[in-house]
Amino acid sequence: MAEILVIDDNVDLLETVRQILTARGGHQVSVSSDAEEGLARALANPPDLAIVDVMMPRISGYEICRQLRADPRTATIPIIIFTARGQPVDRQAAMESGADDYMAKPVPMQELLDRVDDWLGKQAAEKTYVLAGTIVLLSLRGGVGVTTLAVNLATTLAQTRDGTACLVDLCPSSGHVALQLGLRPEPNWSNFFQNSVPSAEAIEAHLLKHDSGLHVLASPIFPIVGHGLTQPRVAAILNALRQRFTAIVVDAPSVLDGATMAALEAATVAGMVITAEAPSIQTAVGTLRALGDWEKFRLILNQIVPAAQLSTGMIERALKQPILGAVPFDPAQAQALAQRKPLALQGPASPLAQAVRGLAEKRV
């Protein structure tokens, strides 16, 4: 079942399309007879596919296509254009605006259903998860919510992906992953200092199990004097975990030490966590420059205070890449931390939980 948004100022046509796609296609269909409202709905809650009329008051279907293509959240969704105009020039205009398909009115409902199924099938076949495999979350500026995001993302992945998920806390100065999950961090990776390279069996024996099904490799409760895990040890740990888990989330230290570099080398994707404030953006720019603008990096905007200092557009221009996802400020997070229960589990309908789920399910 897919989520489909239909935007058309013809109310009767909207109802017909909704019934066909719901009853015969088995899809979840949202409709809007107002172009501006429909566009806002698409950007707020991106559908799997959009069907858009051309001739509407205030804003045309072509402009809706252009705005959907310009936004990272909706840039890749299939768009089918409806129009009463059936000339080649009209089809060309639809394609140039960013539409994937074009249907002239009156639209045969069975043909529409077939087109929708074809595009959804292509989307499912061609798209892969952005956040998959080994996911490293990093910020060299502390206090931007990396650990909270890692905990909520990992517990979400443990519930939504096939197989199992593991969360690795590499912080050498008393990491808080276990604390946020209400777990006692014993055993933890400090026991690996005595071995040159820990075995898969030893790593398995040091994993904590959370009620959500998530496995956790915790950091020691007391800060490590000197360096934490060495680069070869981290590489060996992540390699062993890859054989066991389908999704691994790493809460990386806020420094480019050996452990962090080993995690980044092993990463399928590295999520650079930023906030909408100048010091965070400055640190992110410096990090990208120090690491050579790795293609693995994806920007994740984590709003830890109610009001943002910088707009999304300003951040994207400064960092020269789009934001993969934004996690809004959620006042319920403070209580979740106090209760040691991740908000993704305790309040699945909360804004933060919904945004994290959107990140976990994001495809390209």
CATH class of the structural domain 3-126: alpha beta
Instruction: Say which residue, 311 or 129, is predicted with more confidence.
Output: 311
CA distance 40 to 43: 5
> Do 3-126 and 133-360 have matching folds?
yes
CA distance 269 to 192: 26
Does 44 score more than 90 pLDDT?
Answer: no
| Domain ranges for the chain | 3-126, 133-360
pLDDT for 293: 64
**What are 212-242's pLDDT values in tens digits?**
999 999 999 998 887 778 999 999 999 999 9
CATH class of the structural domain 133-360: alpha beta
CA distance 198 to 352: 36
pLDDT band at residue 173 under the 50/70/90 scheme: confident
- Rounded to an integer, the average pLDDT of 7-26 is 92
DSSP 24: I
Secondary structure element (H or E) that encloses residue 254, with its range: none
Secondary structure element (H or E) that encloses residue 84, with its range: none
